């Protein structure tokens, strides 16, 4: 049996085994009938071959068809309701950014610690992964946690898990992504929270993500329009994250990470109502990792950081 090391693993396994059990029962019944009828009605036997017996009425036929339908519906309802909580990302979680590329996994902790093909995380803490790809579609799969999430170029996808057992676990790329796909693996190391803190402190710290984003914000000239005292009318970014934004076409969207990312790479796609569409596109100018950092910076502005750094 596959090792199970996350909070959702038991429910995934339960669904798996019930489905296996159900399939075995159905297979046994159908298989036995096929085999026994094949013997009973083989050529030359004197078995009765007339019309169906009376008890085999239309009602019986309808009955077992509907019963099977209900079994299928029940399995669907049960599996979905067991999995649903996993699709709701916890608000309070350790947020790790993952950038996938041919053929490696780059991880960045909120404190600025970076890892390649490795990820250290504390045990018993919900971990939320915000992921994107620099080239093709990859998929972040950790069998021991029973998670698998596609990582797409051009947008963010997220998944989360809570590891329950300390140890080393395999990370696989589970979407064929080119020549070295099979080698696009990594190790997830789950540590007790105290060891994690010690480990984190011992790592070389880069600037934290938001800090790095702040520097890029100046470097790319964003502050020239969005900063205090800018000449161009541009919307203020402080407090923007997670708020509704009215666009020029009258629609309203929530300023989530995907929105922020699109605003930077393709500003003309979602123009804020009341502002001229003058923001340049940063597609091909800022790398995916730099965009991740700037998005982190804009999110941090909400938490009351000063705009000028």
235 binds ligand HEC (CB under 6 A): yes
C-alpha 33/C-alpha 216 separation (Å) is 70
- Shortest Å distance, C-beta 304 to ligand HEC: 18
234 binds ligand HEC (CB under 6 A): yes
> Residue 224: CB partners within 8 Å, gap ≥ 6?
230, 232
Query: How do strand 126-133 and strand 94-101 relate by DSSP bridges?
Result: parallel
Out of ligand HEC, Cu ion, none, which partner does residue 294 contact, by CB within 5 to 8 A per kind? Answer: ligand HEC
Q: Contact 104/184 with Cβ under 8 angstroms?
A: yes
- Shortest Å distance, C-beta 90 to ligand HEC: 25
Burial label, 234 (beta-carbon count in 10 A; 0-12, 13-18, 19+): middle
222 binds ligand HEC (CB under 6 A): yes
The angle formed by the CA atoms of residues 299, 287 and 226, to the nearest 5 degrees, is 45
C-alpha 109/C-alpha 120 separation (Å) is 9
138 binds Cu ion (CB under 5 A): yes
Q: Tell me the window of 24-32, 139-147, 194-202, 261-269 that interacts with ligand HEC (CB under 6 A).
A: 261-269
Count of residues that interact with ligand HEC, criterion CB under 6 A: 28
Q: Tell me the window of 3-11, 43-51, 111-119, 225-233 that interacts with ligand HEC (CB under 6 A).
A: 225-233
227 binds ligand HEC (CB under 6 A): no
| Cα dist from 20 to 10, 12, 34, whole Å | 15, 12, 21
Terminal Cα-to-Cα distance of the chain (whole angstroms): 52
Radius of gyration of the chain (CA): 27
Q: Contact 152/132 with Cβ under 8 angstroms?
A: yes
184 binds Cu ion (CB under 5 A): yes
238 binds ligand HEC (CB under 6 A): no
Out of ligand HEC, Cu ion, none, which partner does residue 177 contact, by CB within 5 to 8 A per kind? Answer: Cu ion
294 binds ligand HEC (CB under 6 A): yes
171 binds Cu ion (CB under 5 A): no
Q: How many CB atoms lie within 10 A of CB 76?
A: 10
99 binds Cu ion (CB under 5 A): no
177 binds ligand HEC (CB under 6 A): no
User: Which residues in this chain contact Cu ion in the complex, by CB under 5 A?
Assistant: 138, 173, 177, 184
Q: Which residues bind ligand HEC (CB under 6 A)?
A: 220-222, 224-226, 232, 234-235, 237, 240, 245, 255, 260, 263-264, 267, 271-272, 275-280, 282, 294, 298
């Amino acid at each position: 049996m596959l090792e199970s090391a996350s909070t959702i693993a038991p429910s995934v396994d339960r669904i798996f085994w019930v489905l296996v059990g159900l399939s075995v029962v159905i297979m046994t019944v159908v298989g036995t009938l096929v085999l026994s009828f094949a013997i009973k009605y083989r050529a030359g036997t004197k078995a009765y071959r007339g019309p169906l017996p009376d008890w085999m009425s239309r009602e019986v036929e309808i009955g077992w068809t509907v019963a099977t339908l209900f079994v299928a519906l029940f399995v669907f309802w049960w599996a979905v309701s067991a999995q649903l909580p996993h699709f709701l990302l916890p608000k309070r979680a350790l947020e790790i950014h993952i950038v996938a590329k041919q053929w490696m996994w780059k991880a960045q902790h909120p404190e600025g610690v970076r890892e390649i093909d490795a990820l250290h995380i504390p045990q018993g803490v919900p971990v939320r992964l915000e992921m994107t790809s620099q080239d093709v579609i990859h998929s972040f799969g950790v069998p021991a946690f029973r998670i698998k999430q596609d990582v797409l170029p051009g947008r963010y996808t997220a998944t989360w898990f809570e590891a329950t057992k300390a140890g080393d676990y395999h990370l696989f790329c589970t979407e064929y992504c080119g020549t070295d796909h099979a080698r696009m693996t990594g190790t997830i190391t789950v540590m007790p929270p105290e060891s994690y803190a010690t480990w984190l402190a011992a790592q070389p710290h880069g600037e934290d993500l938001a800090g790095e984003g702040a520097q890029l914000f100046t470097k790319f000239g964003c502050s020239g329009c969005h900063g205090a005292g800018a000449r161009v009318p541009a919307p203020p970014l402080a407090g923007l994250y997670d708020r509704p934004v009215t666009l020029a076409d009258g629609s309203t969207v929530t300023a989530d990470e995907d929105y922020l990312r699109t605003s930077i790479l393709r500003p003309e796609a979602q123009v804020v109502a009341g502002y001229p569409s003058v923001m340049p596109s940063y597609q091909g100018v800022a790398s995916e990792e730099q965009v991740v950092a700037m998005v982190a910076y804009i999110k941090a502005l909400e938490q009351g950081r000063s705009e000028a750094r």
